Structure formats: C-alpha cells, structure tokens
Amino acid sequence: MKTKILLLITAAVLYGSTTITAQTVESVSFSGGYSGTFSKRSDLQISSINGAGGEVEVRFNAFRQFRVSISGGYSVFSIDQNIYAMFSEWNWRYWKRYFGDINDPNFSKSTQWVQSILKDSSYSAGFDPVQKMDAFPVFLTGSYEFSLTDNIALRPYLGAGVIFYSKRLYVEETWKKTFAALDDYVYGYSYRNMAENVTGNPYAALGGFDAVYKMGDLISLNLGAKYAYIFQTKGKFGYDNFPMKDMFSARLGITFNY
C-alpha cells in the first residue's frame, strides 16, 4: 500500500511539473521562518529539534480561483539526541576504533589509545557532540484563494513532495595537559572530529494556508503555516535516520505578482 502511495505521489509531481510550465506564472514568493515538529522520533530518542530557513514558491494560474505551485526551500536544524542512541544510530567506525564504546563514557573499559592517555592524571579531555541537519523540501501543491476583502485573501493548499536531507555530526574535543614542573601550567587545544554525513529523501504529504495582504498590483505580504506528514517507509528513502515523524513551519514573506 505504501509503495502504491509513493508511486502516486511521484507520478503527480512529475505530471504537475511538466503540465504547469504551460500555464501562466501568477507570482513568485520569497519567505523565511521557523521550523519544528509535533512528533519527534522516540525510537531514536530525539529530545528536541528545531530550525530556521527560507523558501521560494512559484505559483501558476490553473482555472478560476485555483492555483498550482512548485516550492523549494532550505532549513538547518539543531538536533538534541541521547548520546548513546546517537552513536548507536551513526555506527561511527572511527570513533569505535580510536575511542571505544560510547556506552563507557569514561573509557574505563576501553583498550583504545584514549584510555592509555587519560591514565596519566596530567591529561584531561572533554567530548561534546554536535548534530545538525540540512533539509531541502520540494513540494507540488494545489490551492484555492478566498477573497475576504479587496486587499486580504486566504489561501489554503494541499500537496505532496520530497524532503531531501543531510545529517552531520561532529565531536568537539577539548584536551588539556598540566605541567607540574612549570608551576602547573595548563596547555589546552580543541578540534572537531567529523563523522560521515547521513542522507535521505523521505516522501511527505503537505497541508497549510497563507493569509495574503495585497499592498498593490505588484507586491503582497503573506503570513502562513504548513504541516508535512512524513510517510513511514522503514528501510527506504532514508526514513530510518530522519529525526521527525512530521514537520511544521511558520513563515513570513513577500510576493511579487505578475
């Protein structure tokens, strides 16, 4: 059933992208705002995730008050995740090889070189993991515009698309060495250990609305919110590593009318 749904979504996006090019461009919108989620992935032990970004939307006339749009955006998210779940998910070979088991944060059972260094009391170290995600949503939507007044309109819409993403992880390492012979002088330095990025492109269904204030024939201001439901395609399209079951965003933008 899920495969059929995904095939229908893909077919709709491809059909729409080839069809709307023959239509008349009505407007181009630029917006920015906040993004987050209502349903974090509990199986990945995500404690919080939020981000900010921007979007470009091209709207085409369909018929009467109906419009068809293509939008593309970019958002960067900060992710807080249980450290043990995080290293289990990433399965970082480099870390395992040189630092040992993340479930032993003090390296007390590690046979790697980190343990041998920290046995020397003149050394101390800190390890601070940082996880980010770059998301590039692409959606095809259909909308209907209700005119509330001469200058104000409400535009609800539905659609579907793909969220391309790339998750990145690094550990900020801080090392210090105390020189007793130099009156306990402390020398310290820090650097980043970078893990290999994790990528994917889960499918999503989209719903939302825009409130539009027409400042004139050429320019409008728009305020809106949207909600995307991520299809649960376990083992496919990078869903297993995507940190959210859904995604919402609130945005403010400007529209140039043609």
Domains in the chain, please, with CATH? 2-257 (2.40.160.20)
Residues 127 and 117: their CA atoms lie apart, in Å, by 15
Q: Among 165, 161, 222, which Cα is nearest to 32's? A: 222
Q: Among 215, 226, 181, which Cα is nearest to 31's? A: 226
Predicted TM-score (pTM) of this structure: 0.81
Residues 236 and 88: their CA atoms lie apart, in Å, by 19
CA distances from 227 to 50, 171, 232 (A): 14, 32, 16
pLDDT at residue 20 in the model: 46
The H-assigned helical ranges of 170-216 are none
Residues 227 and 249: their CA atoms lie apart, in Å, by 7
3-class SS at 151? coil
- pLDDT tens track for 64-110: 889 999 999 999 999 999 888 888 888 887 777 767 665 565 556 55
Residues 224 and 131: their CA atoms lie apart, in Å, by 28
CA distances from 215 to 49, 70, 112, 181, 195 (A): 36, 23, 65, 73, 48
Q: To 5 degrees, how large is the angle CA 14–CA 134–CA 103?
A: 125
Cβ(162)–Cβ(137) under 8 Å? yes
Residue 205's Cβ-count burial label (10 Å; 0-12, 13-18, 19+) is middle
- Would you give the DSSP letter of residue 24? P
Residues 53 and 49: their CA atoms lie apart, in Å, by 14
The 10 Å Cβ neighbour count of residue 147 is 12
The 10 Å Cβ neighbour count of residue 60 is 18
Mean pLDDT by 10 residues, the chain (258 residues): 48 48 78 95 94 95 88 96 87 74 59 72 87 96 92 95 96 91 91 92 96 92 96 95 96 93
User: Longest C-alpha distance within the chain, in Å?
Assistant: 84
Containing H/E element for 235? none
What are the two backbone dihedrals, phi and then psi, of residue 240, each rounded to the nearest 5 degrees?
A: -60, -25
Residues 89 and 200: their CA atoms lie apart, in Å, by 14
